[in-house]
Structure 1
Amino acid sequence: MLTAAPVALHAEASNAELAKEIAELKAQIREMRGAMASQKRVVEKVRVIASRRVAPAPAAAGGYPALPAGSVPAFVTASKQLQFGSLTITPGGFFEAASVFRSRTVQADINTPWNSIPFGPQAGTREFRFTSRASRVAALVEAQVTPTFLLSGYGELDFQGSGVNSNENQSNSFVPRIRNLYAAMDMTDYGVHVLAGQNWSLATMNSKGITPRNEVTPPGIDAGYVPGFVYKRQPQIRLTKDFGGKLWLSVSAEQPQTTYSGCVSGVNGTTLTAGTALNPVTGAPLTNSVTCQLPGVGILNGTTSTVGAAAGGQSITNFSLNHVPDVIGKAAYEARVGERDVHLEGFGLYRDIYDRVAYSTPLAAYSPQATNRDATGYGVGGGVIAALLPRKLDFQASTLYGRGVGSYGTSQLPDSTFGPTGAGSPITTLALLGGLVAHVTPSIDLYAFGGEEVAQPKYYTTNNAGASFATVGYGTPNANNTGCFNTITATSGIAPGNSLCTGNTKRIWQLTGGMWDRLYKGSFGEVRVGVQYSYTERELFSGNGVYAGTGTGSGGTVSAVGTLYGPGHFASPKQNENIVMTSLRYYPFQ
C-alpha cells in the first residue's frame, strides 16, 4: 500500500489539470462561436448592400467572372459534344483537298454534270483542277425536353456555291451554300416525327427507317454522284410514323421546280408548238406563245452585271412556274435475316407541271386568248440495302420510274417538253442504280457501282403553219446531228464549218469504282484518303445527218436537205467520259 500511495496522489493531480484544460477549451469554443456569429452578421450585411448596388458583381478568385444566378456552365464532353445547359451541340464536317481529271472538258468543279458531256470541238479537250469546295461544315443542336420529346436543328454547308465575282484567276473566292438546314421534333412515345426545312428529298433512300442524316449516297468522291442516283435537297414539311422501329410510313410536301426541254424564259418567252391546233373560227393553224419559267428577282436569286446590261445586271438563274408542291409518300421496312440486316423501301411521287399559253393567229378578226395549263407528273420507286456478308460486303440498289420526274435523277434529264396545245408534256424516264461496298480491312473500303438514266421520246408532228411537216418535242428524229463528231469547227471532211449537234439525251450510264483508306483514327479525329475512276457514256436520240463511219464519208448519201451523211446515219451519237478523282479528308469530329 505504501508503494501505491504516490501513484494515487499523481492521478489526483492529473485529473485536476485535465479539468482545468477542458474548462479553458470550452471558454475558447464559446468565444469562437461568438466570433462566427458576428462574422455571419457582417457577411449578411455585405450581401444585402451588394444586392442593392447597380454595379456588376466583383470578379471571382482567379480573374474569372462570377456566373449569374441560375446559370449553368458550358463544357465539352469526351465525345467532342458541346453542352450548353440543356442544349447539346454536335459539330461535324470535314476538310478536303481533291483533284479532278476528265478526258473531255465539261468546265465543272468536283460535281460532274452528266447531261453536259460534250460533243463537237469541246470534246477534243481535257480538264484538270484542284478543289477544296466539297469541304463541309455541320452542326446538330439537340434539346431533350422530356425523356420522350426531342427538339433538334441541323445545318450543313459546303462551298460549291458561286458568287457574282467567283473565279479561279487568283483568289478562288467561292461562297458557302446550304446543303441542309432544318428543324425536327421527335415524340418517341407516339412514334411521331416531324421535319421542316431543307433536307434530302423523301425520295432519297435511307439506311435506317425513314430518319434524317441516314440518307444513303454513293460512296465516291464525285459530287455529281452516279447516274441513276435519285435525290434532291429542297425545302419540305415531312410527317413520319414509326411502328416499333420496324415499319415506317411518311408523307412529305416538297418544293416544286420543273425542268424543261425547249423552254425559252421570260414573260414573252415563246415555244412554237402548234400547227396541229386550229383556230376554232377560221380553221387556220395557231401559234402558241408559252411562258414556263422566269428569272428570279429580289433575294430569290443573285444577279450579275454584263457589258451593255441595264443597271442591276441580269438574273443568272430562271425558275419554273409552280403552284402545287411535290407530294411524296414512302414506306420503309427493316428485318434481320439470320445475321444479315435488310432495309426495304418504296415510294410514290406526284407532281404538277404548270405553264401559261397564249394562242395567236395572223388573222385580226380572231382575238388572241390565254390560259394556264396543268399536266400531271408521277413516279414510283424503291430501294434495298442488304448485308450480303455481315460486316464484310454490303449491297444496295434503287430505282425511279415515271413521267415528269427526270430532275429527281442526278443526271438532270428534263421533266417535260410541250404538247401541241402548249401545255406541258411530261417525259417518261427511268433511273437505276446498284452497287457493292467491301470492307476489306477495318480501315479500307472498296466499292463498285453502276447506274443508268434513260428517257423516252416525246414529240408530235406539226405542219408548221402549213409550210412543211416537222416534229416538235423531245427526241425528235429531225434533230440536226451533223456536227456531233466535228472536233474542228472551221472545217470538216463531212460538213465543212458545221458544229451542230442538237439531238436530245436518250441515255446516260456509268460504271465506277474506288477505295477509301482510313489512315488515322483516334482522339484527334480521322484522316481518309480516296481515289475514284468512272467511265460514263452519254447517248443522244438519232437525228438526220449523223456520220458514224471513217474517212470523208465514203458510201454516203445526200439527204433531202442536202446534208452528206455516211453509213451510220440515223444512229444515236454517243460520247464517253473518263474521270479520275482523288481526295484527302480530315474529319476532326469523328
Structure 2
Amino acid sequence: MNTNLKVFATLLLASTVAVGYAQSTADSAGSTAHKATAKRTHHRVVEKKPSVESQIEELRNELNEQHGQIDTLKQQLSDRDAQLQQAQQAASQAQTAAQQAQQAASQEQQQLSDNSAAVSSLKDSVSDLKSNTTSIVGTLQEQQASVKKAIEHPDAIHFKGVTISPTGSFIEAATVWRSAATGDDINTHFTAIPLENSGQAQLSEFYGSGRQSRLVIKAVGHAGNATLTGYYEMDWLGAGVTSNNNQSNSYVIRQRQLWAQAALHNGWTFTGGQMWSLTTETTHGLDNGTEILPGVIDPQYTAGFVWNRQYGFRVSKDFGNKVWIGAAAENDQALPGGSSPTNQFLGQAGDTGGLYDNQSNYSYNLAPEMVAKVAFEPGWGHYELFGVARFFQNRVYPSSTTAAGAYNDSTVGGGIGGGFRVPLAHKKLSVGLKGLWGDGVGRMGDSTIADLTFRSDGQMSLLHTFSALSTLEASPTKRLSLYFNYGGDYVGRDLLNGGKSGYGLYSADMSGCNTEGLPAGSYTPSATGNCKGNNKDVQEFSSGYWYNFYDGSMGRLRQGIQYSYIRRDLWSGTGGPLNPDGGAKGTDNIFETSLRYYLP
C-alpha cells in the first residue's frame, strides 16, 4: 500500500511539471504570433506581458507549493501506512484471535460432542442399568419366591447333591362289598371265589381298610455320566404269618419295591432289587417306574394281568428312544396243582429258625427266572414282545421204604408274550391288549393258577397256561377318567398215567358241587360237598372311574368307584353239575370305593 502512494505522488508531480511546461511553451508561441500580427497591422498597440523571471518564479512557487502538497501527501501516506500496518497487525492479531477462538470453539464443539456422546452413553448405561435392575429384581423376586416355595412347599429334599422325593405316596380309605364272601381283605383271591352252592356264596361281606395306603421314597443323584436312583415303596397289606413268595415277595413292612439303578448317558441301564418283573407292561421303553397297571382299586388288580413283583437284576439298552432291549434274572417260585404224590418234594415251608415265613412254601429253584424283552415306540403307541424261561426241580423217591435211588428231577418251562397300547381320539382314549402263553408260566397271571402238576412217579409235568387282558381307558375331561377291563387266566388239562394223575382229571369227584356242605361232628361247616375239580379259568370284567376333586401344587385328592364281575370255572369230573362246560363254577359281584390323597 505504501509503494502505491509513492507511485501516485510521483505521477502527480510529473503531471504538474508537464502542464507548466506546456503553458510556458504556449505563452511563448502566443507572444511570437502577437508580434507578427502587430507587424502586419503596424499600428496595433502592443500589450505588456509578464517577464520570464516572474513566470519562473511563479513556477517555482507553484512547485514549492506542490512539493508541500506532496510532502503533505507523503506524510498522509506515511500516516496511512502506519495506520494500515496497525490495521494489518490488528487484523493479524484478530485473525490469530479468531483462529484461537475457532480452535477453542472447535475444541469446545469436540468437547460438547464428547460430552453429548458421554451423556448418550450414560443414558444408554442408565437405561441398561434400569433394565438390568428390573431383570435382577424380577430374578431376585422369582428366586425369593422359589426359595420361599422350596422352604414352605418343597417338592423334594436335597441332601448332599441327592434329590429325595415322596411323590407317589398316598393315604387311602377303601371299602369292598362282595356278593359272595371270600374272607379276604380288600385284595381279592381270584382262585378262591366261592362256588355257587357253597355256604360262603350265600353270604355277602363288607370290609373297609386303609392298609393300601402307600409310602414312596425316591432318591436321585448325578455322578459323571450316570444318573443314580434309589427307590423304596411300601404299604401295609402284608402280614407276618401269611406273607409269601408266590407272586410278590411282600414281607412286613410290605416291601413292594426296593431297588437301585445306574442309568448311563449312553443308553445302558442297570437295575437291581425288588421291582416289577420285566414281563410287566410299561408306558415308556423298559423304564422302571413307568409300569402300566390296571386303573382298578383292588390291590390284586384284575384277572389276566401279567406281572410279578420280586427280586430282579435287569440290564437294558435304549436305541434312539425308539427301540429298547433288555434282559433280567428274577426270583422264581413254583406253584403246584392237581395230583401231588407224597414221594417227592418241590419245596418246603420256611425254616422256623430262619427269616422265612414258616407257614408258606418255598420252592427249591434250580436257577433264576430269565426274561428277555424288546419294546418299540415308532411314534404311535407302545409295543412289546418278550420271552420267559423257567427252571424247575424237585427231589423224587422211587421207594417208599428206602432213600436208595432217590434223584433230582428238573425241567425247563417258559412262554412268549407281548402287548400293545395305542392312543386314540387325540389321546382321550387308550386301547391296550396284553397276553402270555406257555408252559409253566401260570404264576405270572394275576389269578396265580398252577404252574405244574405231578406224574404218579413224582416227576413234574408243566401245565399249559394262558393269560390275557384287554383295556379301554377314556379321559373325557381333565378331572375324570374311566376304565373298562376284560381278562382271564386259563390252565389246561394235563392227564397223566392214563388219567390217573395230573391236572383236571375226569375222575375228580364232583358229586357234591350242587350241595352246600354240612357241618361235621364238631358242627364245623365245610365249603361244599364233594367238589374236587381243579381250576380251569378265572375271568373278570371290571369297570370304574376316578375323579380328581383337586389336582395342583398341594397334591391330588381323588375318589373312585369300581364294579367287578368275576367267574371262576372248574374242570369237570364225575357226577358233576350239568353246566355247559361240564364243571362247577362260582361267581362274585364286587363293589369297591376309594378316597385317596396323593402327596404332590
Q: Same fold (TM over 0.5)?
A: yes
Question: d(CA) in 2 for partners of 1:75 and 1:108?
Answer: 43
Give ranges in structure 1 of 5+ residues lacking alignment.
1-73, 167-173, 265-270, 273-288, 303-314, 463-469, 549-567
Which residue among 556, 566, 572 is the counterpart of 1:536?
Answer: 566
Give ranges in structure 2 of 5+ residues lacking alignment.
1-148, 244-250, 521-525
Contact 1:296/1:317 (8 A) holds in 2? yes
Question: d(CA) in 2 for partners of 1:350 and 1:301?
Answer: 25
**Residue identity opposite 1:301 in structure 2:** Y
Residue 163 of structure 1: how far off its partner (Å): 2.8
State whether structure 2 residue 405 is matched by structure 1 residue 369: yes
Contact 2:516/2:527 (8 A) holds in 1? no
Contact 1:122/1:487 (8 A) holds in 2? no
Residue in 2 aligned with 1:524? 554
What does the per-residue CA deviation read over 1:219-276, in whole Å, with 9 as the maximum and x for residues that have no partner?
0101111111000001011000110111000000001111101476xxxxxx15xxxx
> 1:403-482, aligned counterparts within 5 Å?
403-461=439-497, 471-482=500-511
Residue 300 of structure 1: how far off its partner (Å): 3.5
Residue 318 of structure 1: how far off its partner (Å): 1.3
State whether structure 2 residue 231 is matched by structure 1 residue 177: no
**Residue identity opposite 2:373 in structure 1:** K
State whether structure 2 residue 586 is matched by structure 1 residue 575: yes
Residue 79 of structure 1: how far off its partner (Å): 6.0
**Residue identity opposite 1:379 in structure 2:** G
Question: d(CA) in 1 for partners of 2:501 and 2:516?
Answer: 28
Contact 1:121/1:489 (8 A) holds in 2? no
State whether structure 2 residue 404 is matched by structure 1 residue 350: no
Contact 1:444/1:515 (8 A) holds in 2? yes
Question: d(CA) in 2 for partners of 1:430 and 1:351?
Answer: 16
Contact 2:577/2:583 (8 A) holds in 1? no
**Residue identity opposite 2:184 in structure 1:** A
What does the per-residue CA deviation read over 1:57-91, in whole Å, with 9 as the maximum and x for residues that have no partner?
xxxxxxxxxxxxxxxxx965966111113110011
Residue 569 of structure 1: how far off its partner (Å): 9.9
Question: d(CA) in 1 for partners of 2:370 and 2:223?
Answer: 31
Question: d(CA) in 2 for partners of 1:497 and 1:197?
Answer: 40
Larger Rg: 2
What does the per-residue CA deviation read over 1:427-458, in whole Å, with 9 as the maximum and x for residues that have no partner?
00011101111001110001111001111111
In structure 2, the CA distance between the partners of 1:429 and 1:497, relative to structure 1 (3 Å rule), is: closer
Residue in 2 aligned with 1:87? 162
In structure 2, the CA distance between the partners of 1:401 and 1:506, relative to structure 1 (3 Å rule), is: same
> 1:334-349, aligned counterparts within 5 Å?
334-336=377-379, 341-349=380-388
Question: d(CA) in 2 for partners of 1:85 and 1:388?
Answer: 44
State whether structure 2 residue 599 is matched by structure 1 residue 584: no
Residue 322 of structure 1: how far off its partner (Å): 0.9
Question: d(CA) in 1 for partners of 2:253 and 2:532?
Answer: 35
RMSD: 2.4
State whether structure 2 residue 532 is matched by structure 1 residue 502: yes
**Residue identity opposite 1:130 in structure 2:** G
Question: d(CA) in 2 for partners of 1:178 and 1:384?
Answer: 29
Question: Once the two structures are aligned, what percentage of the paired residues are identical?
Answer: 35
In structure 2, the CA distance between the partners of 1:78 and 1:533, relative to structure 1 (3 Å rule), is: same
Contact 1:76/1:82 (8 A) holds in 2? no
Runs of 4+ in 1 over 3 A off after TM superposition: 74-79
**Residue identity opposite 2:269 in structure 1:** H
Residue in 2 aligned with 1:57? none
Contact 1:361/1:368 (8 A) holds in 2? no
Contact 1:537/1:577 (8 A) holds in 2? yes
> 1:100-179, aligned counterparts within 5 Å?
100-119=176-195, 120-146=198-224, 148-164=225-241, 176-179=253-256
Contact 2:381/2:422 (8 A) holds in 1? yes
In structure 2, the CA distance between the partners of 1:405 and 1:77, relative to structure 1 (3 Å rule), is: farther
In structure 2, the CA distance between the partners of 1:112 and 1:89, relative to structure 1 (3 Å rule), is: same
What does the per-residue CA deviation read over 1:325-367, in whole Å, with 9 as the maximum and x for residues that have no partner?
100000001022xxxx3100100000011100000167x9xx8
Relative to the length of structure 1, the TM-score reads: 0.71
Question: d(CA) in 1 for partners of 2:450 and 2:160?
Answer: 49
Which residue among 355, 360, 368 is the counterpart of 1:317?
Answer: 360
Relative to the length of structure 2, the TM-score reads: 0.70
Residue in 1 aligned with 2:350? 296
What does the per-residue CA deviation read over 1:19-54, in whole Å, with 9 as the maximum and x for residues that have no partner?
xxxxxxxxxxxxxxxxxxxxxxxxxxxxxxxxxxxx
**Residue identity opposite 2:238 in structure 1:** G
In structure 2, the CA distance between the partners of 1:388 and 1:187, relative to structure 1 (3 Å rule), is: same
Residue in 1 aligned with 2:426? 390
SS in 1 for 2:398: strand
